[in-house]
Chain A
Amino acid sequence: MSALALSGAIEAGLLFSLVALGVYLSFRVLNFPDLTVDGSFPLGAAATAVAIVHGINPFVATAIGTVAGCCAGFVSAYLNVRFKILNLLAGILTMVALYSINLRVMGRPNISLYGEETIFTPIANLIDLGLWTNSVILLVIAVAMKLLVDWFLGTQVGLAVRASGENPVMARAQSVDNGRMTIIGMTLSNGLVGLAGALFAQSQGVADVSLGIGTIVTGLAALIIGETLFGSIKVAWATLGCLVGAVLYRLFIAAALSAGFLGIQAQDLNLVTAVVVAVAVILSQARRNSRFRLWPWLRRQVTQPQPQKG
């Protein structure tokens, strides 16, 4: 693999680690299978790109993309909480609506940011690491977001969000308003995805209406790879898993592409992603605990353990 392909893969991995963090919040913490992501990712990209083209400061533009993502998450959550629309459907409805909205936001199917100032330009002027500049900046952002999620889930509200996702009956008995927690969590989750889209547009130099396709599956793939490596129960490890999982996943894809493995080409990416996720989910369903180890799992299949008494 060339250095260019390697740095590109790491860059994309770090971008998608933000998606994975968002997906962790919705799928795992809230237990809300949220498909809004496929719409909020290009929404973040579109809003930021339009803002930048209109001469708005790239940092402000990135914030706009993030807030746009937050709004998308809020809408899905609100549809689910207020109108009792099935969570899966609520996400799909928002996602479908966002396709049209993204076209409206951009006014055309894609916007090029070639030659525009992005958040990467001023930093690249300060410290120029050549090919790796973007990766380093994205690494800092990804780690910051990971720490932010860790911190949030350790606050009183964060704890309530976690309880509401895992055990809503118990949460209610502890005076937790489950609906509100869903809205808070989903807003944050899609804010992260919007941020990922905003950064994607700036690092790749383009926002496209179709770049959201498969975002959720890539995010899930990263999440599941991370969980297999670090376990899923402790928040700090799970979020670290999102970062590592996303980078590993993109590296794996890049390696498969460059080696011509099984004749995989760029257009096969979504198929590969879907297969990887399907296999990972099947494996993770077999695993009862946080870490999947093949041998204990096989042994458990043979001798069913007795439930703990006392």
Chain B
Amino acid sequence: MLSVCDAYVTFNPGTPLAVPALRGVDLDIKEGEFVTVIGTNGAGKSTLLSAVAGDVRLDSGGIYIDGHDVTGRPTEQRAGMIGRVFQEPRAGTCSSLTVEENLALAASRGGRRGLRSALGRGRKKRELAEQLSRLGMGLEGRLGALAGTLSGGQRQALSLLMATLLPMKILILDEHTAALDPGAAATVLELSAEIAGEQKLTALMVTHSMRNSLDFGTRTIMMNAGRILLDIHGEERKGYDVPDLLNLFKKTTGSEVEDDQLILA
């Protein structure tokens, strides 16, 4: 479903501030796989996701979604194939648009937008309210509320619904619970897993928590210094616990995991 081939990205190339962010990433994700991505700060997790989404252009290598070469395509031209939830709740929704308008915008993703009224009536409205009620965030009665008046958790849940409203090839979740308080984070994470499972979505989720990376999804990859360090899936993954990951990290890199948050979270 998604192939990343020998991807290289360097930020500020040719300057003293040059930072190699991806250094030859190869990744093949099969249809229906839910991949969690973990790694220390600066490991290249977010860069990898941005490269898939199109916000970051590769210096070399290629990205293929469902057999289509999307390497050179700008974000908006791949967006029809990609559902995306950002880390920052404000980033994924439009504050000055209502909940319904945000959803309407997502409902025309990847299609041609015309001069038809964006908002549906009657049955369509009830359907939206029904989908919102499944989020369990009390949003079903707030179709007309401005997204700017929602709490962070509500906004992320709305973003998640927007991302998964239409059929798509890949769902990208970039630490989408990192900015939420623990309660809301847990709810949104459960919701993500539930929706992904129900719709059999192919997903790529960056998380800061080793615990979550093993508890959710079907495959875990660990990145370090712009490369994929570990790739655990199938039966093997079931036997893994957080200390195993830490040991593996130490064995492969020869250094300890220094990012406390990774261990504690």
In the complex the two chains form, is A154's CB within 8 Å of B118's CB? yes
In the complex the two chains form, is B110's CB within 8 Å of A175's CB? yes
A157 contacts the other chain (CB 8 A): yes
B259 contacts the other chain (CB 8 A): no
In the complex the two chains form, is B79's CB within 8 Å of A175's CB? yes
A170 contacts the other chain (CB 8 A): yes
Given contacts A170-B92, A173-B53, A175-B80, contact A160 B105 (CB under 8 A): yes
In the complex the two chains form, is A156's CB within 8 Å of B184's CB? no
Type the 1/0 row for B57-83, where 1 means its CB is closer than 8 Å to any CB of A. 000000000000000001111011010
In the complex the two chains form, is A233's CB within 8 Å of B146's CB? yes
Q: Among residues 109 to 148 in chain A, which have CB atoms less than 8 Å away from a CB atom of chain B?
A: none
In the complex the two chains form, is A155's CB within 8 Å of B116's CB? yes
B163 CB, min distance to chain A CBs, angstroms: 8
Contacts of A154 in B (CB 8 A): 117-119
Given contacts A172-B75, A175-B76, contact A155 B181 (CB under 8 A): no
A159 contacts the other chain (CB 8 A): yes
Given contacts A155-B115, A156-B114, A163-B97, contact A174 B183 (CB under 8 A): no
B123 contacts the other chain (CB 8 A): no
B219 contacts the other chain (CB 8 A): no
In the complex the two chains form, is B115's CB within 8 Å of A174's CB? no
In the complex the two chains form, is A166's CB within 8 Å of B94's CB? yes
A229 contacts the other chain (CB 8 A): no
Q: How many residues of B contact A (CB 8 A)?
A: 44
B108 contacts the other chain (CB 8 A): yes
Type the 1/0 row for B78-93, where 1 means its CB is closer than 8 Å to any CB of A. 0110101010001111
A291 CB, min distance to chain B CBs, angstroms: 13
Q: Among residues 184 to 202 in chain B, which have CB atoms less than 8 Å away from a CB atom of chain A?
A: 184
Given contacts A170-B93, A173-B79, A174-B109, contact A159 B104 (CB under 8 A): yes
Please name the residue on chain B nearest to A308 by beta carbon.
Answer: B151
A56 CB, min distance to chain B CBs, angstroms: 29
A309 contacts the other chain (CB 8 A): yes
Given contacts A169-B91, A173-B92, A175-B77, contact A155 B97 (CB under 8 A): no
In the complex the two chains form, is A157's CB within 8 Å of B113's CB? yes
Type the 1/0 row for A223-260, where 1 means its CB is closer than 8 Å to any CB of B. 00000000001000000000000000000000000000
A310 contacts the other chain (CB 8 A): yes
| A-side interface size class | 20 to 34
In the complex the two chains form, is B75's CB within 8 Å of A173's CB? yes
In the complex the two chains form, is B75's CB within 8 Å of A310's CB? no
Please name the residue on chain B nearest to A181 by beta carbon.
Answer: B113
Please name the residue on chain A nearest to B81 by beta carbon.
Answer: A175
A214 contacts the other chain (CB 8 A): no
B261 contacts the other chain (CB 8 A): no
- Cα of A177 to Cα of B80 in the assembled complex, Å: 12
Contacts of A166 in B (CB 8 A): 94-97
Q: CB within 8 Å of A: which residues of B? A: 53, 55, 74-77, 79-80, 82, 84, 86, 90-97, 101, 104-106, 108-111, 113-119, 146, 151-154, 162, 180-181, 183-184
Q: CB within 8 Å of B: which residues of A? A: 152, 154-160, 162-163, 166-167, 169-178, 233, 308-310
Sample of 15 A–B contacts (CB below 8 Å): A154-B118, A155-B117, A155-B118, A156-B114, A160-B108, A162-B97, A169-B55, A169-B86, A170-B86, A171-B105, A176-B113, A233-B146, A309-B181, A310-B151, A310-B154
Q: A155-B114, A156-B117, A174-B109 are in contact. List 13 more A-B contacts (CB 8 A).
A: A154-B118, A155-B113, A155-B116, A157-B115, A162-B97, A167-B90, A167-B95, A172-B79, A173-B75, A173-B84, A173-B92, A175-B79, A175-B109
